[in-house]
A = this chain, B = another copy of it.
Amino acid sequence: MFVLKKKILFLIVDGLGDRPSAILNDLTPLEYAETPTLNALAARGICGLHTTIAPGIPPGSDTAHLALFGYNPHKYYTGRGVFEAAGLGIPLQPGDIAFRTNYATIEDGIIVDRRAGRIRDDKDELARLVDGLHIDGIQAIFKHSVEHRGCLVLRGDSLSHQITSNDPKREGNPPPEIAAKEKSAEASAQVLRKLIAKVEERLQDHPLNKQRQALGKLPANTLLVRGASSAVQLPNFEERFALKGAVCVAGFALYKGAAALVGMKVLYVPGATGRVDSDLNAKIKASFEALEENNFVFLHFKGADNEGHDGNFLEKAAYLEKADKALEPVLGRDDLVFALTGDHSTPCGIRDHSADPNPLMAVSSDCLRDSVKEFGERSVIAGGLGHIRGVDVMPIIMGLANRTKKFGA
């Protein structure tokens, strides 16, 4: 019997979920925003909520994406650094350890901005400050990414990722000293401490900072590192889901990294910045083009998460309206299975990830469309998908696309 296998567009709106706020008339940013396209799509599809990992666990962006790709992060996650490295196209060798980094602003030993004013200066220069350094026989490989973000890889003998971070995670605190979590990691911790001291030394009177200060901007004068992890081999996504042609359209390194780690092809899309200003129309266009030759596109919108982290209620709503507008062409594609959800909630009032579940929609021309007519954290409670876990999202999408395999006879 012939069954039409549908193509799939899976959009993750980073940090989508939120909590109600008095600033938004007791609504969430998604509820407050005018989103006629999302509502029309929800009305055509099945909705629900997912708890990305498990109740009460605020997911990291990395573990959240693993779960939404169908990989149990408790089984497959070793740390964030390797995602950053994969996203920036740094090929890892066995024994390498990798870190996510921030350029940050320190004053009198206190971190005053963990993002150095979301610095957007010369990326190559910001990379050269670290890349190629050698400390105690260990080589540093560094690529700079978007704004303050970058990825550090250490290469050499006997490295261990069992070391702590120097990121205090909050402004107003001194950076904690990097330490070994176990004896075998002491040399690695020592290398990293020396490396950061060297980078701080290079930054102290760097022309880039003089220029920033002249413009009233915060200087980048230290490097925060976190997410220490060692190289990991994940099962291939296309094999796992018997789905040839899986590609990623994302602007931001971490998500490209997550996609690359599971074997998706990562597209370069001009205008996809991984910031609030990203060209979402270009990303939709690139996704449609990719779907001509491929069967699955993972599309990622980053901006809502940024606004959540910065506590910008109205701006988060405005970004969601921008996303809604960009999604208009999806209304014309009822040949596809279209799914949309957040990887985690980033409530503006929390300014960080929370464990709150995320609204989810799955749209297919012959799905059991439910009574949900608006897409929001609370309207989807009545939806037909109910309340599920993140790792179940991909199998459900595959079922709607008629791409699943019978178990039994």
18 more CB-based (< 8 A) A-B contacts, given A59-B408, A347-B366: A1-B350, A1-B352, A19-B366, A19-B368, A20-B367, A20-B369, A55-B395, A57-B399, A57-B406, A60-B409, A61-B408, A77-B408, A226-B409, A354-B402, A355-B399, A381-B383, A386-B387, A387-B387
Chain B nearest CB: distance from A70 CB in Å? 9
* Residues in B neighbouring A369, C-beta threshold 8 A: 20
CB-CB contacts of A376-390 with B at 8 A, as 1s and 0s? 011001111111100
List CB contacts (< 8 Å) of A149-181 with chain B.
169-170
Contact for A396 among B55, B347, B392, CB less than 8 A: B55
Number of copies: 2
Given contacts A368-B19, A378-B384, contact A399 B60 (CB under 8 A): no
**Contact call A378/B368, Cβ cutoff below 8 A:** yes
Chain B nearest CB: distance from A66 CB in Å? 8
**Contact call A56/B1, Cβ cutoff below 8 A:** no
Determine which residue in A54, A56, A62, A63 has the highest number of CB atoms from chain B within 10 A of its CB, and name it: A56
Number of A interface residues in the complex (CB < 8 A): 69
Is the C-beta of A371 less than 8 angstroms from some C-beta in chain B? Answer: yes
Is the C-beta of A263 less than 8 angstroms from some C-beta in chain B? Answer: no
Chain B nearest CB: distance from A180 CB in Å? 20
Chain B nearest CB: distance from A61 CB in Å? 7
* Residues in B neighbouring A368, C-beta threshold 8 A: 19-20, 28, 356, 377-378
